[in-house]
Structures are given as structure tokens and as C-alpha cells.
């Protein structure tokens, strides 16, 4: 075999190898995609034939109109529920500037928020508070300052939201006809109905006549926002009076807010993170006891 024959044979083998490599790396992938698209086209053609057989005597516009008639009520119901489970503005606060030392700045938004809330209350109707109920569960400026290194931006925003929510509650109760509040306790928030609702329960202490109580409960029942009365306690401290007595009334009332999908995901992630932290703390405690 001559040298030219050997070179020709080597080139021929190399060409075959190159063709095989191209087939494996490129053509095989194209053939697979073509097979997949062919199968998909066959499936779509089968579905089209099924639709043609099912709706052979139907007008497409009629089908679309009937289907839309079924979908729209679902959309309307979802929209109505979002409006019903709504606490718009309950936790709104002004952003804290970036260029301030929060520990020394906290008293400014604290005083401004309380001032705006009381101005709004006094502009509506007379109302009497024998105790301070606006922001009662929030840290005052001295308490916040004394937190030292714990006086963070996050803590400040948390306390300001407590003030905003208590103001929102009082204004809501005022709109519902309540004019006397001697006690207001906000319970920790919770989620219900598979995480779709964020629920806040309030403990309210007040005085009113029986007629005023019935009217108040009726306003809650017919409100365009969600309210639930969990429990109510009534005491008559003036049995001998000839006029309708003022009753001592204590109630547990809940409000709820509809959580959007993103908020539900964040809520679920926070709960899972909290559970992991609790498990780690429990494991650390058990390990410490074992030593």
C-alpha cells in the first residue's frame, strides 16, 4: 500500500468520524425535536377533531359567550371578597429618612402620627377616652431610646405601625357609632383559611345603653367590611335607675385582610423559618441538658 493510499484512507476515516460526530451532536437533537413536534401536532389535530365532533352544530361565538358567563361571576366574586376583606390604610406610615439616627429621630414621627390621628378624631365627632388607647401598645420615645442598640429602623417601623393600626381601629369604631372607649387591646395577628386571610382580634371595653349596643352590632353586621364578634359580656351596674342604664360592655371583635399570592408566599416562608429556628433552639436545649 502506497503512502498516498494510506493518507487517503486516513482522511476517509476522519471524514466518517466527523460526519458521525455531527450526527450525534447536532442532527440527532434536530431529529428528536422534529419527532416531539410531530407528536405534538398529532395531539393537537386529535383535539381539534374532538372539538369539531363535539361542537359540530355550535356557533363559536355562542360557546365563547356561555363560557364567559361562567368565568365572569368567579372574577366578580373574587373582586368582591378582596374589597370585603380589606383594611386599607391600617398600617400606612411615612418612610423613615435614610440619613437620620433612628434612636434620636423616633420621637418626630411618633408625635406627628399621634397628632394627625387625634386631629382626625376630633374633626369627626365628640368621643371620650378615659385612658390612652391610641398607640398604647407601642414604645414611647423614652422607651425606644432606652433600647440602645436594639433601637433599629425595623423596630421603629413596627412601633409606628402599631400606632397607625390603633388609630385606624378607633376611627373605624367611631364611624360605627361608638363614642366611648375605656379599653382597647390588640391581639397578635394570625392567618386563617389556608393563609388567605390575615386576622386581627381586638378586645374592646366600653359603656353604652342597650339600644346603642343593638345599633352598634347591627352596623357591624351590615358593614361593607369584614367584622366578626367572637364574644360579648354585658353588665348592668345601675339596676335601680329609671332611665335606660349604661351597660358595661366587653367584646372580642376581629377584622381581616385578604392576602395576595406574593404575601401568602412570604408569610409561609416566614412561618417555615420560624419553625426551623424553634427546632434549632429545641435541639440546642436538649444538647445542653445532655451535657
The C-alpha atoms of residue 256 and residue 201 are separated, in whole angstroms, by 9
The C-alpha atoms of residue 120 and residue 174 are separated, in whole angstroms, by 11
pLDDT tens digits, 207-263: 999 999 999 999 999 888 889 999 999 999 887 778 888 899 999 999 988 877 656
Positions of E strands within the chain: 183-186, 190-192, 197-208, 228-236, 247-258
Phi-psi region of 287 (alpha: psi -120 to 50; beta: other; left: phi over 0): alpha
Of the candidates 120, 115, 163, 114, the one whose C-alpha atom is nearest the C-alpha of residue 138 is 163
pLDDT value at residue 181: 85
List average pLDDT for each run of 10 residues in the chain, which is 291 residues long. Answer: 60 57 62 81 82 66 60 54 76 88 90 88 69 78 89 91 89 86 86 83 91 92 89 88 88 87 63 72 70 63
Degrees, nearest 5: CA angle 93-97-103: 90
pLDDT value at residue 21: 57
Domain ranges for the chain: 102-259, 261-291
Positions of E strands within 36-93: none
C-alpha cell at 48: 381539534
For helices 153-175 and 107-122, what crossing angle results, to 10°? Answer: 10
pLDDT value at residue 175: 85
Helix (H, G, I), strand (E, B) or coil at 206: strand
Q: Give the CATH superfamily of 102-259.
A: Ribosomal protein S6/Translation elongation factor EF1B (3.30.70.60)
pLDDT value at residue 284: 72
The C-alpha atoms of residue 197 and residue 87 are separated, in whole angstroms, by 11
The C-alpha atoms of residue 228 and residue 164 are separated, in whole angstroms, by 21
Contact 216, 177 (CB under 8 A): yes
Which residues, in sequence order, are CB contacts of 184 under 8 Å at separation 6+?
Answer: 133, 136, 166, 169, 170, 202, 203, 204, 205
C-alpha cell at 47: 383535539
Helix (H, G, I), strand (E, B) or coil at 87: coil
* pTM of model > 0.75: no
pLDDT value at residue 234: 94
pLDDT value at residue 24: 61
The C-alpha atoms of residue 266 and residue 276 are separated, in whole angstroms, by 15
Q: Is the dihedral of CA 17, 18, 23, 24 positive or negative?
A: positive
The C-alpha atoms of residue 91 and residue 157 are separated, in whole angstroms, by 10
pLDDT value at residue 108: 92
The C-alpha atoms of residue 48 and residue 56 are separated, in whole angstroms, by 11
- CB environment 214-242: b (16+ within 10 A), e (fewer): eebbeebeeeebbbeeeeeeeeeeeeeee
Amino acid at each position: 500500500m502506497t503512502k498516498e493510499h494510506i493518507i487517503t484512507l486516513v482522511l476517509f476515516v476522519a471524514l466518517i468520524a466527523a460526519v458521525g460526530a455531527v450526527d450525534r451532536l447536532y442532527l440527532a437533537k434536530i431529529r428528536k425535536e422534529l419527532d416531539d413536534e410531530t407528536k405534538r401536532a398529532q395531539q393537537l389535530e386529535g383535539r381539534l377533531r374532538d372539538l369539531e365532533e363535539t361542537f359540530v352544530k355550535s356557533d363559536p361565538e355562542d360557546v365563547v359567550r356561555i363560557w364567559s358567563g361562567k368565568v365572569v361571576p368567579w372574577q366578580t366574586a373574587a373582586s368582591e371578597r378582596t374589597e370585603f376583606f380589606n383594611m386599607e390604610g391600617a398600617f400606612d406610615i411615612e418612610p423613615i429618612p435614610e440619613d437620620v439616627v433612628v434612636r434620636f429621630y423616633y420621637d418626630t414621627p411618633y408625635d406627628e402620627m399621634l397628632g394627625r390621628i387625634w386631629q382626625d378624631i376630633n374633626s369627626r365627632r365628640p368621643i371620650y377616652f378615659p385612658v390612652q388607647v391610641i398607640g398604647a401598645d407601642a414604645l414611647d420615645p423614652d422607651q425606644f431610646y432606652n433600647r440602645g442598640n436594639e433601637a433599629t429602623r425595623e423596630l421603629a417601623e413596627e412601633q409606628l405601625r402599631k400606632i397607625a393600626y390603633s388609630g385606624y381601629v378607633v376611627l373605624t369604631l367611631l364611624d360605627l357609632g361608638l363614642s366611648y372607649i375605656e379599653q382597647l387591646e390588640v391581639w397578635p395577628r394570625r392567618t386563617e383559611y389556608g393563609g388567605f386571610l390575615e386576622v386581627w382580634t381586638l378586645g374592646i371595653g366600653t359603656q353604652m345603653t342597650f339600644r346603642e349596643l343593638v345599633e352598634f352590632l347591627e352596623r357591624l353586621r351590615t358593614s361593607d367590611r369584614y367584622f366578626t364578634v367572637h364574644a360579648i359580656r354585658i353588665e348592668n351596674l345601675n339596676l335601680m335607675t329609671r332611665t335606660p342604664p349604661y351597660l358595661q360592655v366587653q367584646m372580642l371583635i376581629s377584622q381581616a385582610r385578604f392576602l395576595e399570592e406574593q404575601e401568602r408566599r412570604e408569610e409561609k416562608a416566614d412561618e417555615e423559618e420560624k419553625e426551623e429556628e424553634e427546632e434549632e433552639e429545641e435541639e440546642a436545649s436538649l444538647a445542653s441538658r445532655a451535657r
